[in-house]
Amino acid sequence: MTTRAIAWIDTLPLHQTVRDISWIVPSVQTVHILAVSVVVASSLILSLRLLAVTGTDWSPMQWSLRLKGWIWWALLALLLTGLVMILGEPERTLGNRVFQLKMLALIIAIGLSLTLFHRVRALGPGESAGGVDRAIGVALMLVWTFIVLAGRWIAYS
């Protein structure tokens, strides 16, 4: 299946365009890295607030409302830039086990984020996060750390 997908992508005119124009891949990679930074930093801020390490002047619900838009817009940028990078080098990504693990971890991170936003939204303005919320926040940061490391590891695998 992966071999057929790679072969199909290789036939697309957009694939050739991404490969032929030398500035596309570095530009898209730059936007991708910046979007990763936004998602990881926003998730870290929320996780640290859930642990009451920082940002205690706002409730977890307020932080969630403030950061949710940043995370979802950055995830959209990651999706779009990721698709362009796959179009440019499908053989480097689709058949790579590290890339596949990264995509699985991304699905887990999105699921954890959705769960966390739902749970935090249910908190009242003055309520603190519970143990489950803090555990989800820590798990989210661990998964994002893995995703960042896997992103770098793809280049060497």
Report the C-alpha gap between 121 and 65 in whole angstroms: 8
pLDDT at 1 over 70: no
pLDDT at 125 over 80: no
Of 91, 106, 41, nearest to 67 by C-alpha is: 41
For the chain, the domain total comes to: 1
Domain range enclosing 94 = 2-154
The pLDDT value recorded for residue 108 is: 98
Greatest CA span in the chain, whole angstroms? 56
The pLDDT value recorded for residue 156 is: 87
Instruction: Give the pLDDT mean for 17-45.
Output: 95
Indicate the average pLDDT of the chain.
92
pTM of the model: 0.88
Q: pLDDT tens digit string along 78-106?
A: 999 999 999 998 988 888 999 999 999 99
